[in-house]
Homo-oligomer: A and B are copies of this chain.
Amino acid sequence: MTTPKLRRLVQLLARLPGVGEKTAQRYVLYLLAADPSIARDLGEELSRLHETIRPCDECGNLAEADGQSPLLCQVCRDDRRDPALLCVVGRVQDLLAIERTGTMRGRYFVLGKLLSPLDGVGPESLPIPRLKQKIARDGVRELIVATPPSVDGEATALLLKRELDGVGIPLTRIASGVPHGGDLEFADPITMGRALSGRQRL
Protein backbone atom coordinates (compact mmCIF):
# COMPACT_ATOMS: atom_id res chain seq x y z
CA MET A 1 0.00 0.00 0.00
CA THR A 2 1.12 3.47 -0.71
CA THR A 3 1.01 5.26 2.65
CA PRO A 4 2.47 4.46 6.09
CA LYS A 5 -0.99 4.47 7.74
CA LEU A 6 -2.33 2.03 5.17
CA ARG A 7 0.69 -0.21 5.54
CA ARG A 8 0.16 -0.24 9.30
CA LEU A 9 -3.52 -1.13 8.96
CA VAL A 10 -2.69 -3.88 6.46
CA GLN A 11 -0.07 -5.28 8.85
CA LEU A 12 -2.55 -5.27 11.74
CA LEU A 13 -5.20 -7.02 9.65
CA ALA A 14 -2.63 -9.53 8.40
CA ARG A 15 -2.24 -10.76 11.99
CA LEU A 16 -5.71 -12.28 11.81
CA PRO A 17 -5.60 -16.06 11.28
CA GLY A 18 -5.41 -17.04 7.62
CA VAL A 19 -5.11 -13.44 6.46
CA GLY A 20 -2.09 -12.49 4.38
CA GLU A 21 -1.08 -9.09 3.09
CA LYS A 22 -3.13 -9.41 -0.09
CA THR A 23 -6.32 -10.31 1.75
CA ALA A 24 -5.71 -7.54 4.28
CA GLN A 25 -5.29 -5.07 1.43
CA ARG A 26 -8.55 -6.32 -0.09
CA TYR A 27 -10.32 -5.69 3.22
CA VAL A 28 -8.94 -2.14 3.43
CA LEU A 29 -9.88 -1.29 -0.15
CA TYR A 30 -13.36 -2.69 0.44
CA LEU A 31 -13.77 -0.58 3.59
CA LEU A 32 -12.50 2.54 1.81
CA ALA A 33 -15.04 2.06 -0.98
CA ALA A 34 -17.91 1.17 1.38
CA ASP A 35 -19.97 3.47 3.57
CA PRO A 36 -17.65 5.07 6.16
CA SER A 37 -19.98 3.89 8.96
CA ILE A 38 -18.88 0.27 8.42
CA ALA A 39 -15.19 0.95 9.15
CA ARG A 40 -16.14 3.26 12.02
CA ASP A 41 -18.55 0.79 13.67
CA LEU A 42 -16.12 -2.09 13.21
CA GLY A 43 -13.31 0.02 14.63
CA GLU A 44 -15.30 1.00 17.69
CA GLU A 45 -16.43 -2.55 18.43
CA LEU A 46 -12.86 -3.83 18.10
CA SER A 47 -11.44 -1.04 20.30
CA ARG A 48 -13.78 -2.08 23.09
CA LEU A 49 -13.62 -5.85 22.50
CA HIS A 50 -11.53 -6.80 25.51
CA GLU A 51 -13.46 -4.50 27.84
CA THR A 52 -16.81 -5.86 26.69
CA ILE A 53 -16.13 -9.57 26.41
CA ARG A 54 -14.62 -11.54 29.28
CA PRO A 55 -14.58 -15.20 30.31
CA CYS A 56 -17.58 -16.36 32.35
CA ASP A 57 -16.51 -16.74 36.00
CA GLU A 58 -18.44 -19.98 36.24
CA CYS A 59 -17.53 -21.92 33.07
CA GLY A 60 -15.01 -19.95 31.00
CA ASN A 61 -17.41 -19.31 28.08
CA LEU A 62 -17.43 -15.82 26.54
CA ALA A 63 -19.60 -13.43 28.51
CA GLU A 64 -20.61 -9.82 28.08
CA ALA A 65 -19.28 -7.68 30.93
CA ASP A 66 -22.20 -5.80 32.47
CA GLY A 67 -20.60 -4.75 35.75
CA GLN A 68 -22.16 -7.64 37.67
CA SER A 69 -20.06 -9.99 39.75
CA PRO A 70 -19.71 -12.90 39.29
CA LEU A 71 -19.82 -12.42 35.52
CA LEU A 72 -22.03 -15.14 34.02
CA CYS A 73 -22.38 -16.17 30.37
CA GLN A 74 -25.74 -16.73 28.71
CA VAL A 75 -25.55 -20.51 29.21
CA CYS A 76 -24.84 -20.22 32.95
CA ARG A 77 -27.63 -17.63 33.29
CA ASP A 78 -30.16 -19.88 31.57
CA ASP A 79 -32.27 -21.54 34.31
CA ARG A 80 -33.65 -24.11 31.88
CA ARG A 81 -30.20 -25.67 31.53
CA ASP A 82 -29.63 -28.79 33.64
CA PRO A 83 -26.68 -28.09 35.98
CA ALA A 84 -26.37 -31.84 36.65
CA LEU A 85 -25.17 -32.43 33.07
CA LEU A 86 -21.73 -30.92 32.57
CA CYS A 87 -19.79 -30.91 29.32
CA VAL A 88 -16.02 -30.37 29.48
CA VAL A 89 -14.47 -28.76 26.39
CA GLY A 90 -10.97 -27.59 25.55
CA ARG A 91 -11.76 -24.23 23.96
CA VAL A 92 -14.64 -21.80 23.62
CA GLN A 93 -14.76 -22.66 19.90
CA ASP A 94 -15.67 -26.25 20.80
CA LEU A 95 -18.43 -25.03 23.13
CA LEU A 96 -19.83 -22.92 20.29
CA ALA A 97 -19.73 -25.93 17.94
CA ILE A 98 -21.74 -27.98 20.46
CA GLU A 99 -24.20 -25.11 21.03
CA ARG A 100 -24.82 -24.98 17.27
CA THR A 101 -26.31 -28.47 17.45
CA GLY A 102 -29.03 -27.11 19.72
CA THR A 103 -29.17 -30.45 21.53
CA MET A 104 -27.04 -29.77 24.62
CA ARG A 105 -29.36 -29.22 27.58
CA GLY A 106 -26.62 -29.05 30.22
CA ARG A 107 -23.84 -26.62 31.07
CA TYR A 108 -20.15 -26.39 30.17
CA PHE A 109 -16.70 -26.19 31.64
CA VAL A 110 -13.97 -24.74 29.41
CA LEU A 111 -10.53 -26.11 30.29
CA GLY A 112 -8.78 -23.42 28.25
CA LYS A 113 -6.05 -25.83 27.16
CA LEU A 114 -5.41 -29.51 26.55
CA LEU A 115 -2.79 -31.71 28.12
CA SER A 116 0.26 -31.44 25.89
CA PRO A 117 3.52 -32.59 27.48
CA LEU A 118 5.53 -31.65 24.38
CA ASP A 119 4.35 -28.04 24.70
CA GLY A 120 4.99 -28.04 28.44
CA VAL A 121 1.32 -28.30 29.41
CA GLY A 122 1.19 -30.82 32.24
CA PRO A 123 -1.72 -31.95 34.45
CA GLU A 124 -0.99 -29.14 36.92
CA SER A 125 -1.72 -26.55 34.19
CA LEU A 126 -5.33 -27.69 33.85
CA PRO A 127 -8.07 -26.31 36.15
CA ILE A 128 -8.91 -29.76 37.60
CA PRO A 129 -9.47 -28.48 41.18
CA ARG A 130 -11.94 -25.88 39.92
CA LEU A 131 -13.72 -28.58 37.88
CA LYS A 132 -14.00 -30.81 40.96
CA GLN A 133 -15.48 -27.92 42.97
CA LYS A 134 -18.03 -27.24 40.25
CA ILE A 135 -19.01 -30.91 40.07
CA ALA A 136 -19.60 -30.99 43.83
CA ARG A 137 -21.38 -27.63 44.01
CA ASP A 138 -23.70 -28.20 41.04
CA GLY A 139 -24.48 -31.83 41.90
CA VAL A 140 -23.25 -33.03 38.50
CA ARG A 141 -24.53 -36.52 37.61
CA GLU A 142 -22.92 -36.95 34.19
CA LEU A 143 -19.73 -35.46 32.84
CA ILE A 144 -19.47 -35.42 29.05
CA VAL A 145 -15.83 -35.23 28.02
CA ALA A 146 -15.91 -33.34 24.70
CA THR A 147 -12.20 -32.77 24.16
CA PRO A 148 -11.25 -33.38 20.51
CA PRO A 149 -10.37 -36.90 19.29
CA SER A 150 -6.72 -35.86 18.86
CA VAL A 151 -3.62 -37.00 20.75
CA ASP A 152 -3.85 -34.09 23.22
CA GLY A 153 -7.63 -34.36 23.47
CA GLU A 154 -7.51 -38.08 24.23
CA ALA A 155 -4.71 -37.60 26.76
CA THR A 156 -6.80 -34.92 28.47
CA ALA A 157 -9.83 -37.23 28.51
CA LEU A 158 -7.76 -40.00 30.12
CA LEU A 159 -6.39 -37.56 32.69
CA LEU A 160 -9.93 -36.44 33.59
CA LYS A 161 -10.99 -40.08 33.95
CA ARG A 162 -8.09 -40.75 36.32
CA GLU A 163 -8.52 -37.53 38.33
CA LEU A 164 -12.28 -37.88 38.70
CA ASP A 165 -12.28 -41.61 39.43
CA GLY A 166 -13.00 -41.05 43.12
CA VAL A 167 -15.80 -38.55 42.49
CA GLY A 168 -18.22 -41.35 41.64
CA ILE A 169 -20.07 -39.83 38.65
CA PRO A 170 -20.17 -41.39 35.19
CA LEU A 171 -17.88 -39.85 32.60
CA THR A 172 -18.93 -40.16 28.96
CA ARG A 173 -16.89 -39.44 25.84
CA ILE A 174 -18.21 -37.98 22.57
CA ALA A 175 -18.23 -40.46 19.67
CA SER A 176 -15.45 -40.49 17.11
CA GLY A 177 -15.98 -42.01 13.66
CA VAL A 178 -16.71 -41.29 10.02
CA PRO A 179 -18.31 -37.81 9.82
CA HIS A 180 -21.81 -37.26 8.46
CA GLY A 181 -21.70 -37.28 4.67
CA GLY A 182 -18.17 -38.65 4.82
CA ASP A 183 -16.91 -41.31 2.47
CA LEU A 184 -15.55 -44.54 3.98
CA GLU A 185 -13.09 -44.71 1.08
CA PHE A 186 -11.41 -41.47 2.20
CA ALA A 187 -11.57 -41.97 5.98
CA ASP A 188 -8.11 -42.25 7.53
CA PRO A 189 -7.31 -45.61 9.21
CA ILE A 190 -7.60 -44.23 12.77
CA THR A 191 -11.03 -42.70 12.13
CA MET A 192 -12.18 -45.88 10.38
CA GLY A 193 -10.84 -47.96 13.28
CA ARG A 194 -12.74 -45.80 15.75
CA ALA A 195 -15.92 -46.04 13.71
CA LEU A 196 -15.60 -49.84 13.89
CA SER A 197 -14.68 -50.14 17.55
CA GLY A 198 -17.35 -47.63 18.53
CA ARG A 199 -20.12 -49.44 16.63
CA GLN A 200 -23.52 -49.59 18.25
CA ARG A 201 -26.44 -51.99 17.91
CA LEU A 202 -28.89 -50.96 15.15
CB-contacts of A99-135 with B (<8 A): 99
Q: How many copies does the complex hold?
A: 2
Q: Nearest residue in B to A10 (C-beta to C-beta)? A: B45
**B32 and A26 contact, CB distance less than 8 A:** no
Quote the shortest CB–CB distance from A107 to chain B (angstroms). Answer: 13
Contacts of A41 in B (CB 8 A): 12
Contacts of A39 in B (CB 8 A): 46-47, 49-50
- B3, B9, B93: which contacts A29 (Cβ < 8 A)? B93
**A40 and B30 contact, CB distance less than 8 A:** no
Q: Nearest residue in B to A16 (C-beta to C-beta)? A: B27
**A49 and B31 contact, CB distance less than 8 A:** yes
**B45 and A9 contact, CB distance less than 8 A:** yes
Contacts of A47 in B (CB 8 A): 39-40, 43-44, 47
Stretch among A59-67, A163-171, A185-193 lining the B interface: A59-67
**A1 and B46 contact, CB distance less than 8 A:** no
Scan A11-36; emit 1 where CB is below 8 A from any B CB, else 0. 01101111100010111111110101
**B48 and A43 contact, CB distance less than 8 A:** yes
In angstroms, Cα B46 to Cα A17, docked, is 18
**B18 and A26 contact, CB distance less than 8 A:** yes
Contacts of A63 in B (CB 8 A): 2-3
Known: A18-B23, A27-B17. A6 touches B62 (CB 8 A): yes
Quote the shortest CB–CB distance from A66 to chain B (angstroms). Answer: 10
Contacts of A73 in B (CB 8 A): 2-3
Contacts of A46 in B (CB 8 A): 9, 31, 39-40, 42-43, 46
**B49 and A32 contact, CB distance less than 8 A:** yes
Whether A53 is near chain B, meaning CB under 8 Å from some CB there, is yes
In angstroms, Cα B16 to Cα A25, docked, is 11
Whether A80 is near chain B, meaning CB under 8 Å from some CB there, is no
4 closest Cβ pairs, A-B complex: A43-B47, A43-B46, A36-B50, A3-B64
